[in-house]
Amino acid sequence: MRSRLLITVLLLLGVVSITAAQDDVSNHPYSVFVERNIDATGLDRLLFVDMLTGETTDVTVYGERYTIYDQAVLFFDYADRQVRLALPDGTLQDHPFIQMRADNQRVDWVVSDDRNQIAWTFTGTDAQSRLETTTFISDVNGTTVRQIYTDVDENNRSVRALPVALDAQNNRLYMDLQPDRISEFTPFKLYAQLFAVDLDTGETTTLPGEAGRCLCGADVQRNTFIRPILTDDLEAYDITLHDLGAGVNEVLPALRFPTRYETGDIIIAPDGNRAIYTLSSIEDFGQPTQSISTRFILIDLNARTHQPLIQQPIRTFVIPMGWSDDSSAVLLTNPNQDGTWKISIADGRLERIADAMYIGHLLR
């Protein structure tokens, strides 16, 4: 199992530079996987694969929301209700400065693309039992912790704020106001009302077109903001491409299929030239005849076009988790099954590349 994991990681991450000294273990690069629900209690196993030696270190946790963070994996330990770090040597430690208090209901976070900054939001209730969220930002070492945003659900709509992404210069934090606990009921990342917080002034700005927008996917990278719009007949989604720097937008007319699909995750490629979004449909839900249909739509951000990545839908439920480092393939996971798949942009070929779920790589 583990030797095969290493082989597939090397194939997957061939663009990763492996230049650390063989005898300096502290500088070895690692790829990280998770095997979920390895026993009846819901225990997970994190696998740290040394990319130089092939050795694998295991650590078992009751975790969720695994995130590459500096030289560790950041996760929420739902058994102890604390934010924790798993290290490549198999040790666990509490996060040094993001810790839940007794009055916190949950915590959400986002790490910047350069892995130098982290923003996090604590959700709780105020003295009037209204939802209250408080957002902080810091460098990953915790030397610059500061509070940047607070929201109180004054109209009792069960709406909370959470961080979504940092811009490329780490000058703005993109956030969302969304129904509380919606993320517990859908495998997709759905957003209701996206806005930006200026990290110098604290000023907030609603992103273009967000008033009355659907509860659906989105992504924002550099100055590109991608958002679906439900068509007037409620049967499909136009795709809006916003250039936040130039203040202009363009609408890609909806692609229509015999089956009605819901939009899911949208992920912009690291090179900024492409994006992928998901269309998913479940027919006869809960019945013996239940069937799942998933389509992946490729957006060419230079040509301003979109088209199915593969012509026939995939008859299982897989969701995009990210792109390969060279933007040549999309990485997929299944919320109900361990494993990692990739779909090639060049030929649309879908293949399973690992038996565990890939989280990311730690580079020294």
**C-alpha to C-alpha distance for 68 and 62, rounded to whole angstroms:** 17
Q: What dihedral do alpha carbons 91, 64, 362, 338 form, nearest 10°? A: 110
CA distance linking residue 137 with residue 171, whole number of Å: 11
- What pLDDT is stored for residue 354 in this prediction? 87
CA angle 220-154-176, nearest 5°?
10
Domain spans of the chain, in order of start: 97-206
Residue 343 CA to residue 346 CA, distance in Å, equals: 9
In this prediction, residues 120-128 reach a mean pLDDT of 91
Give DSSP secondary structure letters for 198-243: ETTT--EEEPTT-TT--SB--EEETTEEEEEEE-TTSS-EEEEEEE
Instruction: Identify the pLDDT of residue 7.
Output: 45
Q: What is the pLDDT of residues 237-280, one digit of tens each?
A: 999 999 998 888 899 999 999 888 888 889 999 999 999 999 98
Residue 17 has what pLDDT?
A: 45
pLDDT at 133: 94
List, for residues 216-247, the tens digit of each pLDDT value.
899 999 889 999 998 988 889 999 999 998 88
State the pLDDT at residue 10: 46
Q: Are 161 and 134 in contact (CB under 8 A)?
A: no
For residue range 300-311, what is the model confidence (pLDDT) as tens digits? 999 999 999 988
Tell me how far apart the alpha carbons of residues 13 and 360 are, in angstroms, rounded to a whole number: 10
Identify whether the C-beta of residue 297 lies closer than 8 Å to the C-beta of residue 313.
no
pLDDT band at 3 (very low <50, low <70, confident <90, very high): very low
How would you classify residue 327: left for phi > 0, otherwise alpha for psi between -120 and 50, otherwise beta? left
DSSP single-letter state for residue 330? E
Q: Are 209 and 242 in contact (CB under 8 A)?
A: yes
**Which sign does the torsion angle of CA 242, 248, 254, 260 carry?**
positive
What confidence category does residue 51 fall into, taking pLDDT thresholds of 50, 70 and 90? confident
Query: Residue 297 pLDDT more than 60?
Result: yes
Q: What is the 3-state secondary structure (H, E, C) of 9-74?
A: HHHHCCCCCCCCCCCCHHHCCEEEEEECCCCCCCCEEEEEEECCCCCEEEEEECEEEEEEECCEEE
